[in-house]
Structure formats: C-alpha cells, structure tokens
Structure 1
C-alpha cells in the first residue's frame, strides 16, 4: 500500500543563515503574527506571501538560497527521526515522528486517507507556489497505524544528530538514519499500511493536482507519527458566534430538552464537568456574556445520533457532528455554511482567548467541546467521509524549515 522513501534532505546552513530556532516557523496556515519571524532567512520568506502575487519571486529566492548555500543538500539519503518535546496544560510530552518521502495516491485508491474538507482558495494559493518552487517546502503530517514498531527501528539504528535546539517551551532533536538494512525494513513494513492525513490536506490535494501536470512529481515530503504515540495530541476548536436570534435560543432550551439535559454551572467548573460528562455522553458547554455556562448533555446517545441522516454511525457519533447537525442546524436553525459566509462563525483553539472574546462582547456565545479522539479520526476516514470543518487541531504543529524536499 503506502510507499515511502529515504531522501537527501535540504537543510539551512547555520553558518550562513544563523540559529535554527530563528529560521523555523509553524505551518503557513496557522501563522497569525508575521512580525515574529524577523530573520531574512526564515522559512516564511518562502511559505508566506509578503507581496501580492509574489509566487515567482519566492521561487527565485528559493533557488538563490540553494545556489548561495543558505540551503544545502544532505550527502546521502536518509529517514530523519524527530523528537518533539512540548508542554500542554502543565504536563510534559514527547512526540516521535520521522520525515520521509511519501508517494502520492489519489484518494480513491484508499492508500492515503483524508478526514477533512478542503477549500478552493488555499489550494489555489499552494498550487501557485508549488509551480514555482517545484517541491515540498512543508511536510504533510501523516498518521501511521500500528507504527510504534517502525519508529522503534529508527531509534535503535545508528543515528547522526542534525539539530538539537529549544524554541519557546519546546525542544527539538533531529537525527539522520542512513542504515540501508533499517531503511529497507521500514519501507517494507509501511508498504503493508495505509496512511491517514492529520494536517496538510490542502497541500496534499495541491500536490495531486500538480503531479497530473508534472508526472515526474510522484512523492512529497511527509512527517509520519505512529497513531498510538503517547505524544500525539488533538485539541478541540471551539465555536464562537457573533449573532444569534433570540428565537434560536428559545428553541434550544424548549425543543432541545427532548434530547439534552441542561445544567447551569459556575464559570470555574464548566471545563471539568465538560470533560467528565464527555466520557460517556455527547457533551458541550455554551457560554454567554454575563450568564452562567450551560452544560448540554445528551439524554440518550443513540436517539440523538438518529437525528442525523446520510452518514455512517462513526460520523454520527462525533461530538462535532451532533453540535452542527443537531444543536445548531436542526434545533437552532443555524447552518455552518451560512454562518461562515456571513462572517458570524469563528473557530478558536485557545480556550482562554475564546472566553475573553465573549466577555469583551465580540461574540454573543461560544460552544466549547471535548477533543476528537484519534480512533474517531480513523473510523471516519476508513468510511471515506469528511468531518465537519475544524474537527481536529493536532498539537503541536510540525515546524516548517526543519527539512525541505530536494527539488
């Protein structure tokens, strides 16, 4: 099934470009403040648009950096093992992954499985950039089922350290593994598996389109993490709404009581209660300015899920599906697409920031969720379905600039 290959990675030449921590950045689609990336050689000079329609200039800059050896090509093919240490809610974690070239397969082949819908505008942007640089500047983040053994092979191999550095509260270690016997073993084992896209759906679909026009472009830069890795974390993207008709709120409490219990909680208790109820029920917390948070808990899970038609049981069991299809659309009459098109809906991962925006009055209400689970992602993807928008936020993001695919 899935085909991966070792490759000669392209790295920043630290003697010319400076400290690696000043050169990497989050993926292009999660960057909010560009002023954080001041180095003239930061990867965002390639991945982000700094002037209108500057794709050609960025392609020329990429080739200039290669020519001037700001970027250098590794001496021989390797898989690159990455240790990513990070802190989440006061606890320390380690996520292990590795960079490899991943062969492109159309989704209908069911070798590479997506779980997220994509939008036309980001794909158009990435396609224009790909046409100029002709390679993967940023990796697509893949989940590898039953992958702990594969990563262990890399850990047990002879390793050559490429980088070790800190950035904020995160620490990164990157190693090259070049042993042919180990590489061959990993290639054979991954060949028995499917891969699931965690992050990078737009980049993957863009690469598929580009490969149709350029048949020699068959592989992209991938970052593979075992689906069972203890450091693999998903955060929920909470929903903030700018304007809600009073009638919609009335319907929620009147019609909603047929399917849900409503509990009024103190501000400091609602997240803990949301987590506890979410272990056995569909649970959500609704927060409005000046009001006590309301915990919304399903009375009968099967009955709630039966309100959704035209989807698999796996899709119906998602909290995010219940929120959008049953609570917002069916009961309150609020469709996600209409809220988005009118600029009334915001997805936000930072819970504290979400609460501040509600208290400030920028949004009239917010719905807070528990995170989607890895096994739910797999089940929905296996069915060939796409989750509602922003159903997953894999954390932390894989930094761009650690390694680039050789053009």
Structure 2
C-alpha cells in the first residue's frame, strides 16, 4: 500500500521575502541559463538559489554550488525567511493554466510518501532515468537535507473521492497565490484538520501511485535514505515530498512530445515516404503542421505519425500497416508498450527505416507552434508529430512494471519549487 503522511513543511514568510511570485521557480530540469539568471535577479530569496545554484570560479570539493545551496538554506531558516509549520499538514495545490488555447485547472495535494524500491510495492515508475541527474540531485540532498522540489504522483480515483475530503477547506480561506514566468497561476492552501488528514491517509492506503514526473528525485530519495541508514520507519529520510493528483482530475493533461530531427541530409518528403514505404501507408498530405496535427488528433490512434520535411516544406501523415512488426523489434516488451507512438517512432522509424539517411539527433518540443517555428528557422531537417500517450497507457505499462521510452509523456505544467519544502532530518 502507498503510505502517506501529513508533515510540517517549511514555507516562505512572505512578510520577510515579499511576493510569493518572486521566490518560486520551476524544477531544475526545465531551467536554462537565461531563466536561471532572471530568477536570480527576481529576488535574493528565490528558490533557484537552492534548486539550481550557479557554478562559481574556483569551486572545489569543499566549496561549490551544492555547499552554497545548503548554506543559503540554513541562512534563510536562521533569519526566518523560511519557517516550519507548527502542525502536520497536507497542502492543497491548484494550478490554472492554458494549453493550446484551452484553460485548465489541475488540483492535488502535497504529502510525504514513504519511499519503497521500485518493483517491491505500490509505487510505479513509468519512464527510464539517467545516472547524471541522479548524481546531481544526491549531492543537493546531501548538502541541504531537504526535498526542495516535489515528485509528481498520480493515483486512480475516478470519483475524485480523495480530493472531495480536502475541497471544503479551500473555501474556508483565501489561498497563497503565485504566478510564474509561463503565466500559470498557482494556489496553495494549508490543511491542518486532523480528521480530514486521517481520512485522506485511509483512502490513499490501498491505492497505487504512478510517478508522472520526478523519477530522478524519487530514486535519489531512495539512495539518500540508504545512506542515512535510518532504522526508524517513520524517520523523515524514509519519505519524500510528493504532489498527488487523481488520474480522474479534469485538469490533468498529457502534452505530446514532438521530435525535431537533425543530423540528416536535406531530405525531401518523397525520400522519407520511400524510406517508410515498407511498413507505412501515407494517409494524408497537408500544407502545414497544424493541418497534419489536426489529422492525428482526429484519428486518435498511436499508429499514425506526422512528418514534415524542411527541404521542400511538405507535410504528410503515415499509418503503420501491421503492428506485428513491433513484436519483432521489441519482443521483451508488452503489446501496450509496442503500440505506443513513441515506441514505433524510435524502434521502427528512427532506428531502422531512416537509419540509411543519416545518424539523427533529436530535440524535443511540445507545442505545434514550436514545431512550425523550428521548421521556419530551418533548425532541423525533419519534424515528426507524435500522438501523446494517455493516462491509460501510463497505468497499464507502469502497472506491468515496464518503463516507457524517454520523453513519452509531458505532464504540463511543471510543479513549482518553493511553495513548500520538506526536511529529511526534522519532522
């Protein structure tokens, strides 16, 4: 069973630091140098100074970005810029945002979740991880002793039964509000009612949790807990900070992750069609990416991909003729995994059918406008529109203890860092 707890989070004292919008930041993995500097300039207390501290000349093993993050955190606590809540709480988190012209509201709650090694219990990953980010996050855990940014977890609850326990408390008082650089409005309510917390813990007990985002942070938490050697099962190091959202929440959306392919010659649509011809049938030709994407959305399947060739400005959609070919390319995977659009793209299209054209390198984008901008700028030779995986895919594949290919899902928007921090040493 997934075990969750209320916790005494550390939060900004807005009387000391000012506007919450000025001190929150996205997670480290979507921050480039320009945004990093912008967040540094926004406030001397911005969470970027913990989440992604700058390298400095002369850094060494004893003085570096990780040790600076740890010292900054301790200074903020000492000067009461960060204060620990007095009661164990759950924290309702709401995000209002726009995606592809539509407005959504996604709601969930922050809790501490007991760590368990993958494959042993009721917490399931859905994507592969890389060693580099885990080593980076472990150094930060060691230097700070905190979960700075949350893992994003999903749980099955089609009737939204769990959140209905917490929802009345969001109407009893105004939330804390922050607006980020993407225009996403975040709202936070602190729930201290012990009966409500107990009810949520009881309802969550039998439910599995699927990690939507933050796999590296979760695996780092396991490594950190192992290092700490905490024998008390309730020790803070045996838990991680997690945002939990029902799979039935109407604001939970998965954006597609399209591929911009470089490293090829100036290929034409005719060349790509010929390369795909053995296994794909062209089912539509279009003047632009928007029309091609509309065709993919109307089709709704995973076996149709959209292709745009920069050299001649043409777009077409191609449908896989026989899905059985994937069983031969990935025999160790389930039929659900083999049928994913992203699996078909990588295993069949990129690794096999287009391999003779060159060695591709990939850039990942999520919006059709990003694709059209890249094509207009000739930033790639080939653009591929990929249908998004669904929540059903995540539940089926992760529940089967398989991991989807990297960049299979993009749960938009990312969760902010800085709304609440979780100590791994002090409960």
1:225 corresponds to which residue?
Answer: 245
Q: Does the alignment pair 1:389 with 2:421?
A: no
Q: Deviation at 1:246?
A: 7.5
Which of 385, 389, 399 is the aligned partner of 1:372?
A: 389
Give per-residue Cα distances to partners, 1:233-263, cap 9 Å, x unaligned.
Answer: 1111111111225899877533532322123
Distance in 2, Cα, partners of 1:244 & 1:305: 27
Q: TM (normalized to structure 2)?
A: 0.88
In structure 2, the residue matched to 1:95 is 106
Partner residue in 2 for 1:41? 45
Q: Decide which of 292, 305, 317 is 1:284's aligned counterpart.
A: 305
**Cα distance in 2 for residues equivalent to 1:328 and 1:317:** 16
**What are the ranges of 5 or more consecutive residues in structure 2 without an aligned counterpart?**
57-63, 231-236
Contact 1:236 1:372 in 2 (8 A): yes
What is residue 264 of structure 1 aligned with on the other side?
285
The separation in 1 between residues aligned to 2:116 and 2:190, in whole angstroms, is 26
Partner of 1:350: 367
What are the equivalent positions in structure 2 for 1:309-348 lying under 5 Å apart?
309-333=331-355, 339=360, 344-348=361-365
Give 1:20-169 correspondences, 5 Å limit.
20-32=20-32, 33-37=35-39, 38=41, 39-52=43-56, 53-146=64-157, 148-157=160-169, 161-167=174-180, 169=183
8 A contact 1:24–1:43 mirrored in 2: yes
* Structure 1 partner of 2:59: none
Alignment of 1:362 with 2:379, yes or no, is: yes
1:358 Cα offset (Å): 2.5
Aligned residue among 161, 169, 186 for 2:200: 186
Distance (whole Å) between structure 2 residues aligned to residue 371 and residue 57 of structure 1: 39
Distance in structure 1 (CA, Å) of the matches to 2:67 and 2:241? 21
Normalising by structure 1, we get a TM-score of 0.92
Deviation at 1:35, TM superposition (A): 2.9
Structure 1: where are the runs of 5+ without partners? none
Query: Quick check: 1:248–1:332 contact (8 Å CA) kept in 2?
Result: no
Q: Root-mean-square deviation (CA), in Å?
A: 2.3
Secondary structure of the equivalent of 1:293? strand
Once residues 140 and 276 of structure 1 are traced to their aligned partners in structure 2, the CA distance between those partners, rounded to angstroms, is: 33
Deviation track 1:370-396 (CA, whole Å, cap 9, x = no partner) reads 211111011110111111111111001
When structure 1 is superposed on structure 2, of 301-310 and 210-219 the one drifting more is 301-310
Task: For residue 94 of structure 1, give the secondary structure of its aligned residue in structure 2.
Answer: strand
Q: Which moved more, 1:121-130 or 1:148-157?
A: 148-157
Question: Which ranges of 4 or more aligned residues in structure 1 deviate by more than 6 Å?
Answer: 246-251
- Map residues 212-251 of structure 1 onto 2, 5 A cutoff: 212-216=226-230, 217-244=237-264
From the superposition, tell whether residues 249 and 5 of structure 1 become closer, same or farther in structure 2 (CA, over 3 Å): same
